[in-house]
Amino acid sequence: MSLYLSDRMEEIIKILSSTNGFTTSRKIAEKLGVTSRTIREDIKIINGKINGFQTKIISKKSKGYKIIAESHEQLFELLHEVDSENLLFDVNSVTPEDRVRFIMKKLLYSNESIKIESFMEELYVSDSTIKNDLIKVKEVLKKYNIKIVKDNNGMRAKGNEVNKRFCISDYFIYSEEIDNRLIIKLVNSFGYHFSDDDINRVKEIILQELSENDIEITDDTLNKIAIHIIIAIGRIKSGQPVSTLSNMNYLKNESEYGIAKKINKSIESLYKIAFPEQETAYTTLHLVGNRLGQKGKTPVPDIKLFLGDDIFQLSVDIIEQTRIGLKGVNISEDEELIYSLGLHLKQLVTRLTFNMNIRNPLVDEIKIKYPLAFETGVIAAHCVEKETGFRVNENEIGFLALHFGAAIERQRLKPTSKKKIALVCASGMATSELLLTKLSHALDNSYNLIGAYALHQLEELLKQNPDLILTTVTIEKELDIPVVHVPSILDDNDVSAIQRSLEKVHDNKKIISQFFSKELFFPGLKMKTKEETLAFLTRAMIQQGYIDSRIEKSIMERERIASTSIGNMVAIPHPLNTVSNQSFICTAILDRPLKWSDNEEVELVMIILLEKRLQEKFQEIFASLYEIIQSSENVQSLCKKRNFDEFLEFIDSI
């Protein structure tokens, strides 16, 4: 029985049910901040809604209103229905988004067709408004292969029950941070009354079976699987079980199928319901899609056997592609990564096969704080898409990135090489030796002096790939590495000055400013879409000889896989793989913000390209760039600049 009461009407019922006596309309009106007349009108509507509960609100002249019921149980039933249904159907729906959620919920939970007039009456809006809302409803449902079909009795949602449950969990439960208590209320609207302890009971059953099979699980994953089972119980109780499930044989061959049968058997006994075979496969799907692995480490020789040939080879291929695409990421020998990545890929392929979505609340943080790891996740997603044909979304890329982030951190724990410094000196050998000796005592252990060179030996010096050059003479050639001038004879003051210069060289803000180019600075750019913007900028870079069509395609492909917007109205597009021969940043300040992703607009675009030798500094360079643009005030100031010199001066001043 549906009530669809407003929040105010719900409060009226609660106020009246909290006292045994009469309460005046004036007193209720004062509590709710409305007029007595409004309260009287609301009570008329309430009485028309609650008579099915053998409950009504009576009035007595000069005394006010009182709620009465045939029994205390009937009143309790009414309060329970009001509480749970208002969570599910918020008819205080003043925005289009509220109405869309309301309509979707009714269509997904109803076994019968619903007339459009019903929506009009419940939401107090016109026919045309509901029809406009239905356009958005259809867009959302389409993502889950659910259609709205019409018959003589109205409209209903037609689709696979599994897809309906995915839509419920994605759109209504995991779209917001709500606790188990509210989830229980949501499921109670199916017509079955769970207590607050039910999720805990289901968790105990799951943990018992997993423990007997030596399978580990995180708290978040345990909670997620328990919620799906609670939803399944509610749907079965309301006559909406899973009747068909594609790839049943695939799931029945998984080891988790036996565990799912035991879990469901315990659930059947506890809740006095029958799980058909398809529901066991559905439970298996959530176990496989969230698999964490056996307790203890799997011995290295068994990794291939444990993962299977296809997943093992996909893991190896992905790691190889990261080695090719991202120089400086040397993780190909990390056996722990092969195992953890392979295990994750088994889960991922299952989710992709059954169109399961997974929420990743950390994805934006991962993009910003671990950009190198996120790029490895993008490369992995690209490999998965090529191998399986399934597109991998940003949430999944974020989880893939975590495995690579851990591997990169393990790599960094290993002893690192010192920064190489070369000395260019035009004086004799004795002067050079004195300089080298003085510098070796002045510099800390993070630097390694690789020798002294004459100016005419510059090419030979560069072959040693130094990180920094100290020079006593002017070097006319423009170099891509920092150059610091030093006097031929050093005293203590000179040494201190050199140390300060080295600190400035490695200052993040100074690292980034060298990459901006006046030729690739486009202020006040008038564009209509992201695609148009990227096409214009890549075409400009091609015309000026900075990139070729391969890099253009790589930039577009990288953007297709995952948006490069990072918040604060900024996007940092870049190629999928390192294919550039030079390092630079192409900058566009748009004349107005453009939609860059589903949730973000962008006004400042910085396309960054790094040559292969600088790829290992990607994270450091990105960090220096983010340090500048993490402030919305900085971004606003940069977007006002219409002169390149002023733009660069502001960056250097931050």
Q: What class does CATH assign to 7-83?
A: mainly alpha
Instruction: Tell me which DSSP letter residue 591 carries.
Output: E
Token digits of residue 168 = 């419920």
How distant is the alpha carbon of residue 647 from its chain centre?
Answer: 32
- CATH topology (fold) of 182-289: PTS-regulatory domain, PRD (1.10.1790)
Token digits of residue 255 = 């080891």
In whole angstroms, what is the distance from residue 269 CA to residue 205 CA? 11
Q: What is the pLDDT of residue 97?
A: 80
In whole angstroms, what is the distance from residue 476 CA to residue 182 CA? 70
Closest CA to 304 of 337, 342, 331: 342
Closest CA to 123 of 106, 147, 146: 106
Q: What is the pLDDT of residue 291?
A: 61
DSSP secondary structure, 323-347, as one string: HHHSTT---TT-HHHHHHHHHHHHH
Given a contact cutoff of 8 angstroms between Cβ atoms, the answer to whether 28 and 65 are in contact is yes
The architecture of the domain spanning 419-501 is: 3-Layer(aba) Sandwich (3.40)
Length of the chain equals 654
Q: What's the CATH number for 89-159? A: 1.10.10.10
In whole angstroms, what is the distance from residue 654 CA to residue 626 CA? 12
Q: What is the pLDDT of residue 95?
A: 73
Q: Which CATH number fits the domain 510-653, given the four candidates 3.90.1150.10, 3.10.129.10, 3.40.930.10, 3.30.2450.30?
A: 3.40.930.10
Given a contact cutoff of 8 angstroms between Cβ atoms, the answer to whether 595 and 601 are in contact is yes
In whole angstroms, what is the distance from residue 114 CA to residue 136 CA? 17
Q: What's the CATH number for 300-413? A: 1.10.1790.10
| Same fold flag, 7-83 and 419-501 | no
Helix (H, G, I), strand (E, B) or coil at 149: strand
Q: Residue holding tokens 């259609």? A: 147
Closest CA to 602 of 580, 572, 643: 572
For the chain, the structural domain boundaries read 7-83, 89-159, 182-289, 300-413, 419-501, 510-653
Cα radius of gyration (the chain): 32
Closest CA to 365 of 405, 417, 338: 405
Q: Which amino acid is at 262?
A: K
Say if strands 64-69 and 55-60 run parallel, antiparallel, or are unpaired.
Answer: antiparallel
Give the alpha-carbon dihedral of 260, 263, 266, 271, to 10 degrees. -90
Q: pTM score > 0.75 for this model?
A: no
In whole angstroms, what is the distance from residue 636 CA to residue 586 CA? 18
In whole angstroms, what is the distance from residue 282 CA to residue 4 CA? 32
Q: What is the pLDDT of residue 579?
A: 63
Q: What is the pLDDT of residue 258?
A: 94
Walking along the chain (654 residues) 10 residues at a time, the average pLDDT comes out as 67 87 91 88 87 88 90 82 59 69 86 91 86 94 93 94 89 62 63 73 93 85 88 87 88 90 94 92 90 54 74 90 74 82 89 86 84 90 94 93 87 68 77 74 75 86 85 84 80 72 57 86 95 96 93 93 90 82 92 90 93 70 80 91 92 82
Instruction: Tell me which DSSP letter residue 611 carries.
Output: B
Beta bridge partners, 7, equal none
CA distances from 269 to 128, 194, 212, 272, 276 (A): 49, 15, 19, 5, 14
Could you tell me the strand order of the sheet in which 419-424 lies? 447-453, 419-424, 468-471, 483-485
Token digits of residue 19 = 């006292």
Instruction: Tell me which DSSP letter residue 172 carries.
Output: I
Beta bridge partners, 147, equal 158
